[in-house]
Structure 1
Amino acid sequence: MPPALTLYRRLVLLAFGLTAFVVVFGAYVRLSDAGLGCPDWPGCYGKLSPAHAAGQILDAHEANPHGPVSMPKAWKEMIHRYAAAGLGLLIIAIAVLASRLGGHAKVSRRVAWLLVGVVALQGMLGKWTVTLLLKPAIVTAHLIGGLTTLALLAWLALRALGVERLQAGGTGGVAPRLCLAARLGLVLLIAQIALGGWTSTNYAALACTDFPTCHGSLWPQADYANAFHVVRELGMTADGELLSNAALTAIHWSHRVGALLVGVVLLVLGATLAKRQGTERLGLALTGALLLQVTLGIANVRLSLPLGLAAAHNAGAALLLVLMVSINYRLAAMPARMRQRFVALVG
Structure 2
Amino acid sequence: MQANNNGLLWQYRLVLASVALAFLVVGLGAFTRLVDAGLGCPDWPGCYGHLMWPETNAEKQAAAQLFPDSPVDTQKTWPEMVHRYFAGSLGLLIVAITIFAYRARKSGLDVPMKLPLALIALVTLQAAFGMWTVTLKLLPQVVTAHLLGGFCTLSLLWLLSLRIKYRFTDIKAYQNRGPIKLAFVLLSVVVAQIALGGWVSSNYAALACSDLPTCQGQWWPAVDFAKGFSLNNEIGPNYEGGILGIEARTAIHVAHRLGAIIVTVLSLAFVFRLLQNHFLGSALAFLAVLGFQVGLGLSNVFFALPLAIAVAHNIGGAVLLLVLISIIYKLYKNNQLNESRVV
Asked if these proteins are the same fold (TM beyond 0.5), I'd say yes
Structure 1 pair 223–128 and aligned structure 2 pair: CA distance change class (3 A) = same
CA offset at residue 274 of structure 1?
A: 4.4
Q: What SS does the corresponding residue of 1:44 show, helix, strand or coil?
A: coil
1:92-111 alignment, distance < 5 Å: 92-102=95-105, 104-105=109-110, 107-111=111-115
SS at match of 2:220: coil
Q: How does 1:50-61 map to 2 (within 5 A)?
A: 50-51=53-54, 55-57=58-60
Tell me how far 1:217 sits from its aligned partner.
2.2
Identify the residue that residue 295 of structure 1 maps to in structure 2. Answer: 295
Alignment of 1:334-345 (within 5 A): 335=336
CA distance in 2, matches of 1:265, 1:166: 26
CA deviation digits over 1:187-245, x for unaligned, max 9?
A: 10000000011001100001111111112222221101111112315998xxxx95211
Provide Cα deviations, 1:18-49, integer angstroms capped at 9, x if missing partner.
Answer: 00000011101110111111111001112111
8 Å CA contact 1:135–1:234 kept in 2: the answer is yes
SS in structure 2 of the partner of residue 332 of structure 1:
helix
Using a 3 Å threshold, how does the CA distance of structure 1 residues 207 and 56 change in structure 2: closer, same or farther? farther
SS of the residue corresponding to residue 291 of structure 2 reads helix
- Asked whether the 8 Å contact 2:136–2:236 carries over to 1, the reply is no
CA distance in 1, matches of 2:64, 2:304: 27
- 2:267 corresponds to: 266
How many residue pairs were aligned? 327
Query: Retained in 2: the 8 A contact 1:210–1:302?
Result: yes
Q: Over aligned residue pairs, what C-alpha RMSD do you find?
A: 2.9
The question of whether the paired residues in 2 share the 8 Å contact of 1:34 and 1:68 is answered with: no
In structure 1, C-alpha distance between the alignment counterparts of 2:328 and 2:44, rounded to whole Å: 38
Range with bigger deviation, 94-103 or 120-129: 94-103
Q: Distance in 1 between matches of 2:57 and 2:329?
A: 48
SS in 1 for 2:222: coil
Q: Which of 15, 20, 30 is residue 12 of structure 1 equivalent to?
A: 15
Question: Closer, same or farther in 2 for the Cα pair 1:316/1:242, shift >3 Å?
Answer: closer
Mark the CA change 1:203 to 1:56 in structure 2 (over 3 Å): closer, same or farther.
Answer: farther
Which of residues 128, 135, 140 is equivalent to 1:136?
140
Structure 2 gap segments, 5+ residues each: none
Cα offset, 1:75, TM superposition? 1.2
Percent same amino acid at aligned positions? 44
TM-score for the superposition, normalised by structure 1: 0.86
Cα offset for 1:172? 1.6
State the shift of 1:268 in Å. 2.2
> For the Cα contact (< 8 Å) 2:228–2:248, is it kept in 1?
yes
Q: Given the two structures, how large is their TM-score scaled by the length of structure 2?
A: 0.87
- Listed as ranges, the matches of 1:174-193 within 5 Å are 174-175=177-178, 178-193=179-194
* Cα separation, 1, equivalents of 2:31 and 2:235: 19
One-letter amino acid matched to 1:41: W
Which residue number in structure 2 is paired with residue 256 of structure 1?
A: 257
